[in-house]
Amino acid sequence: MSELLLEEEEMGALFAVRFRYVIGFALIASAFANLSNIDTIWGYLVNFIAIGFYFMNTFVHLHILKKKDSKWKTKYDYISLLVDNVLITMTILNWYWIKGDGNPNFLVKTPLMIFYLLPLSLCLFQYRFSLVVFTFLCFLISYYSFITVALLDPDAQVSLDWTSYVLGDEIILLDALVSKPVIFLILAFAISYGIFRSLRMLLKFAASETQKTTLSRYFSPDLVSEIVSDPEVIGKGKRQKVTVLFSDIRGFTQFSELLDPEELSVFLTEFRRRMVRVIFQNKGSLDKFIGDAVMVTFGTPLPSEIPGEDVTNAVNAAYAMLNELKLWNEERKSQGQVEIKIGIGIHSGEVFCGSIGSEERMEYTVIGDTVNTASRIESACKEIGSPLLISEVVWEEIGKPSAWHKNEAVLLPGREQKINLYAYQNV
């Protein structure tokens, strides 16, 4: 997260420096617009030399930011803002010497004071409160220095009359001391709050994207959106009906002995990638990998509102897994590799569904007899000689199709009662 914030700060600084060129051209336009008020060569020189220094400072700042490992990146942000404020102060002093007629109140009432807003506005592009505070302090030092100079001058005229203050040479001291600094303070606060809101939104967005990335490894894209919108869905434990699918590679132990660890890792990664893709396409949720085995649930964390849809999705996912395996085996045969066979078992029933574990490590999963039964149905694929077996409960919920062969009174390991299993005949 800190790296993300640092990256955004650097991008903001880079944009701010580029935007300085826009401000620079606006300053040039303002300088040309006021040429008629300059009647000395010194006035021309100070104005355009200040603008020249502004562009030179901008160029140096941009050059520093483009360097990957420059220790001056952060430091020069402050130097650049200081240079901006100094240039504005020098410009105001220049106009005072040219047009102030010796009246120090000119320093307080000059409309050029608005230019101090420019460096302050640049802070909005960067996520650093310290820059806002620094720029505001630079303004306060310059502004109150002007007021001090004005008050120390014996010719300074203080008045309480607003008309004289606006149109004449006098100043209203309290207004001069308070109004402009308060306005700048409010603007600085608004920029700071804008930075705070941006940072907060950025952190929330990053957390949300991280959560989505994590959840996308286990849930289909449709479910991820629902979970993110209501995170409590996976935090609350509850009992609900779920369809559980187990899949296992046949003869994996002997097969894995022929591969070195790297080859085995590549094989398992590709197998899992292919299986998970079709599982997610059928709205399944990946519960876990157990070696070469895959445990998938349908109807978690939210069961379908359409009766029987979760069971149908599970069976369709099993078809898709077998079809995907068939395509992969054709590729493997063309490369001289052995074929892969899997067994799939599906059962549906009530489970406990929720986050289980300790504070150090939580895992969203389902537990209950339905899970154990689905696992043992998958194990029975080898004895029955079918790659896909479903329980009678599942068979009934998908409409009792005739394409399935009934295996009556099968006794699964660890169970006292026999159950009927159905094998798909067209596999």
Give tens-digit pLDDT for 354-412. 776 665 566 678 888 999 999 999 999 988 889 999 999 999 999 999 889 999 888 88
Domain ranges of the chain: 1-213, 221-424
Question: Does domain 221-424 fall into CATH 3.30.70.1230?
Answer: yes
Mean pLDDT of the chain: 82
- What distance in Å separates the CA atoms of residue 427 and residue 412, rounded to the nearest whole number? 23
Residue 92 or residue 1, greater confidence: 92
Q: Tell me how many degrees the CA angle 68-72-73 measures, rounded to the nearest 5.
A: 55
User: What tokens appear for 246 in the block?
Assistant: 């187990």
Query: What confidence score (pLDDT) does residue 153 get?
Result: 75
- What distance in Å separates the CA atoms of residue 324 and residue 275, rounded to the nearest whole number? 7
Taking only the tens place, the pLDDT of each residue in 299-352 is 888 888 888 899 999 999 999 999 999 999 999 999 888 889 999 999 999 998
Sequence-distant (6+) residues with CB within 8 A of 160 are: 172
Taking only the tens place, the pLDDT of each residue in 168-210 is 677 767 777 888 899 999 999 998 888 888 778 777 776 666 6
| CA atoms within 13 Å, Cβ hemisphere of 46 | 19
Query: What confidence score (pLDDT) does residue 225 get?
Result: 58
Query: What confidence score (pLDDT) does residue 228 get?
Result: 56
- What distance in Å separates the CA atoms of residue 189 and residue 120, rounded to the nearest whole number? 11
Q: What percent of the chain has pLDDT over 90?
A: 27
- What distance in Å separates the CA atoms of residue 288 and residue 297, rounded to the nearest whole number? 10
User: What tokens appear for 98 in the block?
Assistant: 């040219």
Whether the bond into 301 is cis, omega within 30 of 0: yes
Grade residue 296 by pLDDT with cuts at 50, 70 and 90.
very high
User: What tokens appear for 320 in the block?
Assistant: 């898709």
Q: Where do the H-state alpha helices sit in 257-391?
A: 261-281, 309-334, 369-384
Grade residue 27 by pLDDT with cuts at 50, 70 and 90.
confident
Full-model pTM: 0.56
Mean pLDDT within 76-80: 88
Sequence-distant (6+) residues with CB within 8 A of 272 are: 289, 294
Closest to 123 measured CA to CA, from 136, 114, 112: 136
Contact between 386 and 377 under an 8 Å Cβ cutoff? The reply is: no
